[in-house]
Structure 1
Amino acid sequence: MLKRSLLIAWVLSLTACQSTQDDLTVHSQNSLPELHIEPTPLPELSKETVASEFPIAPMQVEDVWQRIRQQISFAPSSHPRVLTRVNWYLQHPNYMDTISQRADPLLYYIVTEIEKRGLPIELALMPLIETDFDMQAYSHKHASGLWQLTPLIAKHYGIEINPWYDGRQDLIDSTNAALDFLTYLHKRFDGNWYHAIAAYNTGEGRVLRAIENNRKAGKSTDFFALKLPRQTRHYVPKLIAATQLLKQQLMPFPAIANQPAISVVSLPAATILDRDPNWSMLAKLNTGYARFPALLGGPNRLIMPIDKTEEWAAYAQNLPTMPSNQWQTYTVRRGDSLSVIAANYELSVSQLKSFNQLRSDTIRIGQRLVLPVLADQHYTYTVKSGDSLWRIAKQFNVSVNKLKQWNELSNSTLQIGKQLTIFLAAP
């Protein structure tokens, strides 16, 4: 307790001259005070130096947070922007409780993928900085998911985005794309991770211009010396602050078991789960599917709690493969084509061919095709005075997160007259 009190006093003494707003929210970078102080160089610690502090190998510890802690290589910083954020964390001691609850099923997977690539373990804390580990987060710039990928970056790295599935909100797809992007940026910025992380937030062009402008002016090109958008100036310090909290154990990070929490199982190309409540929890781990339980348009896999794998194997043997109450039949008429039918039902031609096991685009009049019942069960709702996302969600028996996902809403604010698309489950 004495050690922690002294550490907190040290941080507070360094930030005493700064004004921190009481109502500062987790992501309100714009409310942090701007400081013009000469930056301190931030060398990285060698992995050998870090490893010598811990007698137990990272994989052998019981807590994923401690597994991360043992591998932190970014040097601590006393820059005011970093200390301001450290101070904020210390004033919100319950924040990490929420973070650990959300990260519990995800963090082991993320850490393992980062280690496989030999990337800095600090990158495992970026979803904390980006979204508080919220897989369905949206930003006003149309970035989405755990890693806040924009549509352009997501598609560049092979992520599928269609009316049924958004891979930016899938743990596996988004993590792969984010780490690919960060690896590219690290190389683009000659091995400088602070520049790479800043570029992840604001775009490589802005960071390159800021570096070049400082170079021409004979100024330092250290991250803290660059003239960047306000959000980005606080983005990297937030990550450094989080690593310092963990490394120096300034506040508790509720333990997350250092063992696999999820498994990945195979899935037929077109699947609609039944209404069995035993599988409703899968929606929380498979948020990429926009119209759960219709698992359409995405990869041929499903993420689930590891203790449900055997139960799923038995259930999957009886998944519907022929028309049932969850499917409907469509009879091909004169003038129809696969592209016309697919467009009418908000499907892709490849999905339509997959549902019906078609090997070509040729169809004939009178032929019967299988379509998901949910394909045309949507409703347009016009926002009225007094409405809120919570009230609308309750009225239609859907979740607030799904309302946001379907309509790409970055916050809960609604305007009277705005039209919302709501997808209703088949009765």
Structure 2
Amino acid sequence: ELGLPLEVAVLGVLESGYDARAMSHKGAGGVWQIMPGTAGHYKLRITDKLDERKDLVKSTRAALLFLRELSKQFNGDWDLVLAAYNGGPNYLRKMLDQHKKKTFWEVSQVPGFKSETLEFVPRFHALLHIMKNPGEYLFKIPEMEQAEVFDVVRFSENISFDLLSKYAGIPLEMMEELNPHLKENEALAQVNFYLPKKFGNLVLKKIRKYYAKLRLEKYRKKTLRVVRYRVRKNDTLLGISKKFNVPRGRIKRYNRLRSAHYLRIGQILKIPIYRSVKSRGRVAKKYRRALSRKGAYRVKTGDTLSRIALRHGTTVARLKKVNRLKSSFVKAGVLLTIPSTAKFQPYRVARGDTLTGLARMFGVSVRAIMRANKLRSRHELAAGKTLLIPDQGS
């Protein structure tokens, strides 16, 4: 792609033995032993958590771009290119101009020439000769397929290796081996993260599922309260969402409904009301209006739960349960839901109904339904039969 000879691959062996974690005493790092200044020029980031000189893909491209630039500077003389890669292009150009030399072999004889660079070019040629003629030196270089051996993924936020190992089932050692550029065992947002081939999509799917669950939990914690609403005849999800001024999709997600078009009469929906409802008068008005269908009461100065319960023909225990109160203390101005005084409501059994399903639907126990209808067995249900469903808490 960049028009460089294949032999430059030997440079990685000479520099580091293809060890991505290699660091020199002068501060060069990665397979290609790139110095911090060169890394910045080729947009390789070095931070407290990241060193992209150790990212095999990015650092390889940066090294090849650097070699191509050196090839242009030194007119394709690869001995000079290699010397410049090791000793620095500015140093080599200065030595050539100052001593009026044209080739590496001439300038290397100048007294005071860097000893490391003096040895670097001959060592490269020696290693290249060995790798081209391994049989002469009694060893064999295994053939390698030119195929992608890993997937590259990017996450939208930082994720620890421990979390990836737990929820995506990736061995910790594998992640550390493939991602030496990540210093703190943490995949960083919008930074290349390497996985074995065919693992990428699987991991992304599992992590999305994990974060979806996390967002749902966070979302639930933000709610002011969760109102229980019993579906009535002719109700639609859109209509219910308008009553409570809560987006239809939010109600659907919160109740894990597969379809927005299928609601059953008597079905209990949980309506999440956000804290922001308090600060918007128009929304709060709709909220109060919706609650008034079941009965609502705004606490006044001097009120107690006992007085409110007595006034509305209910009990303190039921008031606390319906309003999810942890104590019997209640502040003036708070809007309380008053539970219905009806003890039972009729329900016509549909085909496929079970007592367990009805109990879950209406939020009561199976035993309470059986006791109210004098049923001896859980199996005494017939389609079309009318059952009396006891009110919650009765």
* TM range, smaller chain: 0.3 to 0.5
CA radius of gyration, larger in: 2
After TM superposition, the score normalised by the length of structure 1 is 0.44
After TM superposition, the score normalised by the length of structure 2 is 0.48
Q: Kindly indicate whether structure 1 or structure 2 has the higher relative contact order, using CA contacts under 8 Å at least 6 residues apart.
A: 1
